[in-house]
């Protein structure tokens, strides 16, 4: 292996998160995989099951359904064993494999908070893929609550788990 290859392999990518408005959070991360591979890992249940829940917090993904087509639905049921499960679900609005994914999201234990809209783009990058995920929450209060719940830590960990999975694919 060349020294250049070794140095590229050693680069640790971090998840960048920024609140860009009172209702919107933007997350960016470079993955060492092609856009289509990252897209597949975010839409295929057999791959989602391998990275989606933050393991260090004792969270497991109990159920995973994803029909990644326009009008298709998804539902992730998760939690800690012995505690009541929780779920996120929604509908896919745009699906362009390897390029763009737009879907609604609702936290089922709190259905009255409304749907958020998540837009994920998968851009080719010299090191693989730049994933940019824009999360538009239904209100400032819902985003405040998500941040207060520790979602940033969980998201950072799951994206580390995704990076590990992508290295295995």
Break the chain into its structural domains and give their ranges: 14-52+95-168
Q: Does 3.30.530.20 match the CATH number of domain 14-52+95-168?
A: yes
Whether this model's pTM surpasses 0.85 = yes
Distances in Å between the Cα of 37 and the Cα atoms of 8, 83, 166 are: 19, 33, 8
- Judging by DSSP bridges, how do beta strands 116-125 and 60-66 pair with one another? unpaired
pLDDT value for 111: 85
Token pair listed for 142: 């819902």
CA angle 115, 51, 80 (to 5 degrees): 75
Helix (H, G, I), strand (E, B) or coil at 111: helix
The one-digit pLDDT tens for each residue of the chain (169 residues) are 444 444 445 457 899 999 999 999 999 999 999 999 999 999 999 999 999 999 998 999 999 999 999 999 999 999 999 999 999 999 999 999 999 999 999 999 988 899 999 999 999 999 999 999 999 999 999 999 999 988 899 999 999 999 999 999 8
């Amino acid at each position: 292996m060349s020294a250049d290859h070794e140095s590229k392999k050693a680069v640790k990518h971090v998840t960048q998160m920024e609140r860009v408005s009172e209702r919107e959070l933007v997350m960016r991360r470079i993955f060492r995989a092609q856009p289509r591979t990252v897209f597949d890992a975010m839409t295929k249940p057999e791959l989602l099951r391998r990275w989606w829940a933050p393991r260090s917090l004792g969270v497991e993904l109990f159920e995973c359904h994803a029909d990644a087509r326009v009008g298709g639905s998804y539902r992730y049921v998760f939690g800690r064993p012995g505690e009541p499960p929780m779920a996120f679900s929604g509908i896919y609005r745009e699906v362009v494999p390897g390029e763009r994914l737009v879907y609604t999201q609702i936290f089922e234990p709190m259905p009255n908070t409304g749907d958020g809209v998540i837009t994920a783009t998968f851009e080719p990058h010299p090191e693989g893929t730049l994933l940019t995920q824009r999360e538009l929450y239904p209100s400032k209060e819902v985003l405040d609550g998500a941040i207060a719940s520790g979602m940033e830590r969980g998201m950072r960990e799951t994206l580390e788990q995704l990076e590990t999975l992508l290295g295995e694919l």
